[in-house]
Amino acid sequence: MSTKGFYDLTSGMLTQNRNLAVIGNNMTNAVTPGFKSDEFITTTFQDEMFSRYGNINHNDGQELGTTTSMITAGEITITDHTQGTLDPTDMNMDFALTGPGFFQVQGQEGLMYTRNGAFIVDAEGYIALQHAGRVLGEDNQPIFVGTDDIQAMEDGTILTSDGATILGKFGIVDFEDYNNIQKSKQEGLFIATGGQPVPTDTPIEWKTLEKSNVDMVKEMTNMMASQRALQSAAQVLRMYDQLLGKATTEIGRVQ
User: What gap in Å lies between CA 104 and CA 117, rounded to an integer?
Assistant: 10
Give, in degrees to the nearest 5, the angle at Cα 118 between 84 and 95.
70
Q: Which of 136-140, 151-155, 251-255 has the lowest mean pLDDT?
A: 251-255
User: Is there a single domain that holds both residue 132 and residue 174?
Assistant: yes
197 and 121 within one domain: yes
Looking at the fold, whether 105 and 169 belong to one and the same domain comes out as yes
For the chain, how many structural domains are there in total?
Answer: 2
Kind of pairing between the strands at 103-107 and 38-44: unpaired
- How far is 231 from 117, CA to CA, in rounded Å? 40
Looking at residue 2, what is its pLDDT?
53
**pTM (2 d.p.):** 0.75
- Identify whether residues 94 and 12 lie together within a single domain: no
Tell me which residue range forms the domain holding 61: 4-81+214-251
Encode pLDDT of 37-76 as tens digits.
999 887 655 554 444 444 444 455 444 444 444 444 556 7
Same domain for 199 and 224 = no
Q: 216-246 and 4-28 helices cross at what angle (nearest 10)? A: 160
Burial class (CB in 10 A: 0-12, 13-18, 19+), 140: exposed
**Same-domain pairing of 34 and 138:** no
Identify the band that residue 95 occupies on the pLDDT scale cut at 50, 70 and 90.
very high
Structure confidence at residue 17 as a pLDDT band (50, 70, 90): confident
- Dist. CA 117–CA 203, nearest whole Å: 13
Same domain, 102 and 177: yes
One domain, residues 50 and 105: no
Distance CA 175, CA 248 (A): 59
Asked whether residue 96 falls in the same domain as residue 205, the answer is yes
10 Å Cβ neighbour count for 190? 22
Q: In percent, how much of the chain has pLDDT > 90?
A: 58
What digits encode the pLDDT tens for the residues 222-248?
A: 889 888 877 777 777 677 666 666 666
- Split at pLDDT 50, 70, 90, the class of 251 is low
Mark whether 145 and 198 lie in a shared domain: yes
List, in order, residues 6 or more apart from 186 with CB less than 8 Å away.
Answer: 107, 112, 131, 132
Of 7-16, 58-67, 177-186, least confident by mean pLDDT is 58-67
158 and 243 co-located in one domain = no
Amino acid identity of residue 70, one-letter, is M
Q: What is the pLDDT of residue 43?
A: 62
123 and 233 assigned to the same domain: no
The Cα diameter of the chain in Å comes to 100
